[in-house]
C-alpha cells in the first residue's frame, strides 16, 4: 500500500505540480488552505505533510502545529522563502517540522527530501512496534516471575504437606507386622515417595535461584575446605562403588569468595553426575586452580566413551530444566534438574557452567572470584 502525502498550498497550481511530482510513487492528497488540510487529516492516515508557509488565515507553521494533534508521527516539510527563515528555524527547533525546502523548489531535492522523510517514518514505526514487543515481553517476564512465586507457594503447601504425611504413615506402617510381600510393596512406595520428594525440593531450589530469592552468605573460603572428603556423600560413594568409579583431587590452595553451602551443593551435584554417567571402571578428576586474573577455576572431568562434541546447542539443551539427553552425558535417569540448578546457583555468584568435550572426556567447569585481600 502506498504511503499518503498531504500537499498544502493556497495556490492550486502549486499543489497540482506537487501531485504530478509524487503521484507515481505515493498517494497524494491536496488542500489549498490549512482548514481544508485539517479536515483531510481527520479522514486519512498520512505519512508526510508538505505545507507552504505563506498562506492566508493560517500559516504553514500554525497548520503543522495543529496537525500534531491527529498525526503526531507524520513527518512535516515546510515550503518557504528566504524572508521566513527565522520562523522556519523556530519551527525546526520546536520539533514541529523535519526540514524546510526553499521556493521555488528543486524537484530532485524535494523528491529526495520526501523519500528520506518516508524512510524516517518507517523507522519510527518499526521502533514503535519493537518497543511494544519489549513491553509485552517485560509483562510476560513479570507474569512468569509471579507464576514461579505462586508455584513455590503451591508446591510448599499443596504437595509437600501430603507427601510428608505419606512418608510419616509409611514409617509407622513399617513398624507393624507385615509379611514379605507387604514389606516389599511398602519399600517401593517409600522409594517412589522419596523420589517425588527429591524432585519437589529440586524444583523449589531451581525456582528460588532463578527468581533470586536464594540469599547468599558470601565469605572468604579456603578451596581445600570445599573439597574435604565429606563432599563425597554416602549416596555419591555408593554410586561410585557400584560403577567402580574413583575420584582424584588436585586442588590448588587459595582463598575464594562465595557461599560455602551453595558451592558445596554445586560440587556434590557435579560429582554425583560424574559418578553416575562416567564410564564404568574409570576415574573422575576434580581440579581447582587460579587463573591469574582474579578468578579461580573448578573443573570436574570424567570419561564418557560415547559422548559427542558438546556445542552451544547441546549446552542450552543440557541447562534446560527437565531435559534428559542420553547421547550427551550418557544420561539415562534423573529428573534433568541437576545441571540447571548448578547453573542457576552459579549465576548468583556471577558465574556459569562451562562444558568441553575432547576425545572420550567431558569437562564441566566454573569460575569464582579469588579473595582480593588475600591473593
Query: What fold is seen in the domain 132-210?
Result: Helix Hairpins (1.10.287)
Range with the poorest average pLDDT among 4-13, 220-229, 313-322, 343-352: 313-322
| Residue 267: how many other CB atoms lie within 10 Å | 20
Over 60: is that where the pLDDT of 326 sits? no
* Contact criterion met (CB below 8 Å) for 52 and 6: no
Residue 327 has a pLDDT of: 46
Give the burial string for 75-113 (b: 16+ CB within 10 Å, else e).
bbbbbbeeebeebbeebeeeebbbebbeeebeeeebeeb
Q: Where are the domains of the chain?
A: 4-105, 132-210, 219-369
Q: Which CATH superfamily is domain 4-105 in?
A: Response regulator (3.40.50.2300)
Q: How confident is the model at residue 211 (pLDDT cuts 50, 70, 90)?
A: confident
**Which positions ≥6 away from 74 have C-beta within 8 Å?**
46, 47, 48, 49, 67, 121
* Contact criterion met (CB below 8 Å) for 339 and 273: yes
Question: Reduced to 3 states, what is the DSSP secondary structure of residue 341?
Answer: helix
**Which positions ≥6 away from 107 have C-beta within 8 Å?**
21
**Which positions ≥6 away from 366 have C-beta within 8 Å?**
266, 297, 298, 342, 346, 351, 352, 353, 354
Residue 134 has a pLDDT of: 84
Over 80: is that where the pLDDT of 291 sits? yes
Range with the poorest average pLDDT among 44-53, 246-255, 292-301, 325-334: 325-334
Expressed in angstroms, the distance from the first to the final Cα of the chain is 67
The string of pLDDT tens digits covering residues 123-163 is 988 888 888 888 887 777 767 667 766 766 666 777 778 88
Residue 302 has a pLDDT of: 86
Residue 74 has a pLDDT of: 92
Question: What value does the mean pLDDT take over residues 203-226?
Answer: 86
pLDDT > 70: what percent of the chain?
86
Residue 193 has a pLDDT of: 87
Q: Which three cell numbers stand for residue 13?
A: 497550481
Over 90: is that where the pLDDT of 214 sits? no
| Residue 277: how many other CB atoms lie within 10 Å | 22
Residue 197 has a pLDDT of: 84
The string of pLDDT tens digits covering residues 154-203 is 667 777 788 888 889 888 988 899 889 998 999 999 888 888 888 888 88
Residue 356 has a pLDDT of: 84
The pLDDT mean for the chain works out to 84
Question: Reduced to 3 states, what is the DSSP secondary structure of residue 164?
Answer: helix
In degrees, rounded to 5, the angle at the alpha carbon of residue 252 between the alpha carbons of residues 283 and 280 is 5
The string of pLDDT tens digits covering residues 16-68 is 999 999 999 999 999 999 999 999 999 999 999 999 988 888 888 889 889 98
* Contact criterion met (CB below 8 Å) for 84 and 54: yes
* Contact criterion met (CB below 8 Å) for 178 and 226: no
Assign domain 219-369 one CATH number from 3.20.20.120, 3.30.565.10, 3.40.30.10, 3.40.630.30.
Answer: 3.30.565.10
Give the Cα separation of 223 and 237 in Å (integer). Answer: 21
The string of pLDDT tens digits covering residues 237-275 is 999 999 999 999 999 999 999 999 999 999 999 999 888
More confident position, 53 or 360: 53
* Contact criterion met (CB below 8 Å) for 114 and 78: no
Residue 308 has a pLDDT of: 58
Amino acid at each position: 500500500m502506498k504511503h499518503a502525502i498531504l500537499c498544502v498550498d493556497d495556490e492550486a497550481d502549486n499543489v497540482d505540480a506537487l501531485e504530478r511530482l509524487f503521484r507515481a510513487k505515493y498517494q497524494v492528497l491536496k488542500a489549498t488552505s490549512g482548514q481544508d488540510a485539517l479536515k483531510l487529516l481527520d479522514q486519512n492516515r498520512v505519512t508526510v505533510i508538505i505545507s507552504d508557509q505563506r498562506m492566508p488565515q493560517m500559516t504553514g507553521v500554525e497548520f503543522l502545529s495543529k496537525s500534531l494533534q491527529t498525526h503526531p508521527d507524520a513527518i512535516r516539510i515546510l515550503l518557504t522563502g528566504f524572508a521566513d527563515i527565522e520562523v522556519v528555524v523556530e519551527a525546526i527547533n520546536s520539533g514541529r517540522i523535519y526540514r524546510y525546502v526553499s521556493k521555488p523548489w528543486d524537484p530532485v531535492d524535494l523528491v529526495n527530501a520526501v523519500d528520506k522523510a518516508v524512510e524516517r517514518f518507517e523507522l519510527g514505526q518499526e521502533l514503535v512496534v519493537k518497543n511494544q514487543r519489549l513491553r509485552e515481553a517485560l509483562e510476560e517476564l513479570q507474569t512468569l516471575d509471579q507464576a514461579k512465586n505462586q508455584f513455590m507457594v503451591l508446591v510448599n503447601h499443596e504437595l509437600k504437606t501430603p507427601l510428608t504425611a505419606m512418608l510419616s504413615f509409611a514409617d509407622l506402617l513399617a513398624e507393624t507386622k507385615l509379611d514379605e510381600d507387604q514389606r516389599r510393596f511398602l519399600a517401593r512406595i517409600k522409594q517412589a515417595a522419596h523420589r517425588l520428594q527429591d524432585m519437589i525440593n529440586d524444583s523449589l531450589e531451581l525456582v528460588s535461584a532463578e527468581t533470586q530469592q536464594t540469599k547468599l552468605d558470601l565469605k572468604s573460603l579456603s578451596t581445600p575446605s570445599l573439597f574435604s572428603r565429606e563432599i563425597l556423600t554416602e549416596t555419591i560413594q555408593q554410586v561410585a562403588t557400584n560403577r567402580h568409579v574413583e575420584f582424584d583431587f588436585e586442588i590448588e590452595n587459595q582463598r575464594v569468595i562465595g557461599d560455602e553451602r551453595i558451592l558445596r551443593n554445586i560440587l556434590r551435584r557435579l560429582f554425583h553426575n560424574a559418578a553416575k554417567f562416567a564410564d564404568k571402571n574409570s576415574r573422575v578428576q576434580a581440579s581447582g586452580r587460579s587463573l591469574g586474573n582474579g578468578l579461580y577455576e573448578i573443573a570436574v572431568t570424567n570419561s564418557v566413551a560415547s559422548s559427542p562434541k558438546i556445542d552451544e546447542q547441546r549446552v542450552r539443551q543440557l541447562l534446560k530444566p527437565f531435559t534428559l539427553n542420553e547421547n550427551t552425558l550418557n544420561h539415562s535417569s534423573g529428573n534433568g534438574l541437576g545441571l540447571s540448578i548448578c547453573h542457576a546457583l552459579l549465576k548468583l555468584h556471577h558465574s556459569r557452567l562451562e562444558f568441553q568435550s575432547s576425545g572420550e572426556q567431558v569437562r564441566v567447569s566454573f569460575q569464582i572470584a579469588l579473595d582480593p585481600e588475600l591473593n
